Amino acid sequence: MLHRTNRGSTDVARHILVVEDSPLIQRLVAVCLRSLGRPIVEAADGPSAVEAILADPPDLVILDIGLPGYDGWQVLDRIRSEPEVSATPVLVLTAHAQEEFRIQASKSGADAFMTKPFEPNDLRRTIEGLLASGPAAAVE
């Protein structure tokens, strides 16, 4: 299921795609990013995320790992395998704090990794950095 917020924005920038199955976390992320002035599109499952990415490529994807349909790793693999969106920056935002998830994110081509719960200012700074530097940002 897709949902677009900030639809009335006059900004010419493309959007940020938030792929998260929790409506509460979707809302929190959208509120944190509101000051960036970019429209936020939300997808609640893997298949909807892939469809949204291919139909209307975003400037950046914020990707949860535990998703219905395709998990976040499958979505990330699909992003990296599609030439028209392969350079899209991806932030993995997950409740899994174990080091193996951070390593898997890096190996899978994520540009950044954060765990939930997160500090809103940290999320905003990470997103701003990814948007400024594009796909060359590294997983911290």
Global pTM reads: 0.86
How many angstroms separate the CA atoms of 94 and 138, rounded? 17
Work out the percent of the chain whose per-residue pLDDT is above 70.
86
Q: How many domains does the chain have?
A: 1
Domain that holds residue 87: 2-136
Tens-place pLDDT, residues 32-74 = 999 888 999 999 999 999 999 999 999 999 999 999 999 999 9
Question: 85-107: buried (b, 16+ CB within 10 Å) or exposed (e) per residue?
Answer: beebbbbbbbebeeeebbebbbe
- Looking at residue 8, which CATH number applies to its domain? 3.40.50.2300
More confident residue, 3 or 68: 68
pLDDT digits (tens, 9 = 90+) for 17-34: 999 999 999 999 999 999
